[in-house]
Structure 1
């Protein structure tokens, strides 16, 4: 007998379905992702911390799960919503089914609700706080809990997903990784890239290592002096969850490093670079999440199809003179990339590592690679 589950939003809307994960109750910001595939990468992306993710594609789970496609050691999102959970999976790489994976990692998940209606509501009203529960099924009680959820604005939730200590990436690089990225396995004796980890997807350091770089990962609250002691040839600013403005420790570190070494930021890292230079950020109505987001490269005139996952963006009107816009999101004209006019520092509001997603933006890793041994 299926276990009932409910999703309640802060505006009083309630959806009833059935549980496909662990029993429990979670709260968070309810958002949606427009990807047709990549649900395992989404589940393990730390950028979803504090969020209940809705998949817009109607059937999820049809190709199972495996131990290769994960983007972190464990899921970080609050909850998971699908229209239909496939009871049958078929893929030569599959090692298990989605339901078992959700239960193994104690994820609260719901199926059987009208996800199209839910997404239309989010697009109309904006991302909302919500509660997903298999324990409390009283509508009024759930609505009040949704209203009491703290949300994301003004909170530092990066500390919940960043690593506790500095470590080298090399020990995690495997033969499959180098093969999938398309480069020969390296001996990692090239340039030294220090990654500031704010909740980093694993395919990012895989890209750096596959190009022969030595990769060191440091917690996102590491100071500029501590990073300088590692003698990096370049510093990478990772993706991560939530509001970038409360992360003043990161703003300060990045501000001090600009001009010392080349800097490359992705997603949250792009926002933090902009904030460190004096810009501001704002919360988007419902964010950009999916593998089909068009971006215009102002420097080449080309359009890229990109993978995105963010709920905040850089405010163009606040950009200081030292930053110029390099990319724009073609769906809403928001800033999708900036670069420093005097120093080798740039960032993009999307994921060129393509896990999962298109490969249009791999050139950004090559651009950073070229800068690693150049004057800043």
Structure 2
């Protein structure tokens, strides 16, 4: 079976597993405990924090370990916005309609619970938001801008540096969801005030992530209790997970430029072959400003779920979009936001490739051709 659903999750890298193992079996102390084993765990946690911060381009104390991308996005969006509400009465946030459910759900909660108003800046047919349109949405009471660096369904990459320039000029914090971008795109010097990542997109286990929030940005915690993570995220830290995240992130960053170049070449050949052989195929997302490891299509006259089943019969595993929305009968909010009608959006299939992809995908493109042909013929 060939696995092309890496945007949903990746395999744990052997180097990561090896680095984590001692913190499950030997140095398993609680990092808040004041004895030798606890202090060893605390030292490992501090080291992991510094290593993650270095790759993200933040200070060590800015990094907060979380359970993953969803928690990191929730903490950044709600925590920064509520702190701005408490500090200066700000009740306005800006985002786009193609964000991950953890962003859109957090914004909806701010509206419902705290009376915020949200400006949802539209995107064009490629899924690109105009930084000038974001700037035009800024108000005196804007508490936060939240924009994804790269979309998890169609792979479109945003010009977050341009957005950051507008945000900085108005002294409005910018949160960037970099969950899909990490390992594929540069993370430093983006101008972001908060940035979230998830370990399981990078070769670390599920259940660990990080959000970096610059120290000057007030942040209201979501979890209260023992005051861990400098009072910003209470709960006993996942030391082994933090160590694994640090190792995975460093490895991904060290390999990033070469793997992105190699995978993009193989992806482009795959896309060209699918488009040439399947007349109904339509590539979604930006044609060039997209993640190297993402190729997403609609196939008119089919259903995405049926294509996935046919592909799996042929030894290819992919997805119809975000794993967080799997099983939903609703069309993708990302695809409808870029102007694709609901019926066509239901035919979407997404292929997301591993960082170590090193061979042509002609056989996968042929499997796509066969699967779609069978379904369209009714055979």
TM-score, normalised to structure 2, is: 0.26
Determine which structure has greater relative contact order: mean sequence separation of CA pairs < 8 Å that are 6+ residues apart, divided by chain length.
Answer: 2
Q: Relative to total residues, which structure has the larger helix share, 1 or 2? A: 2
TM-score, normalised to structure 1, is: 0.27
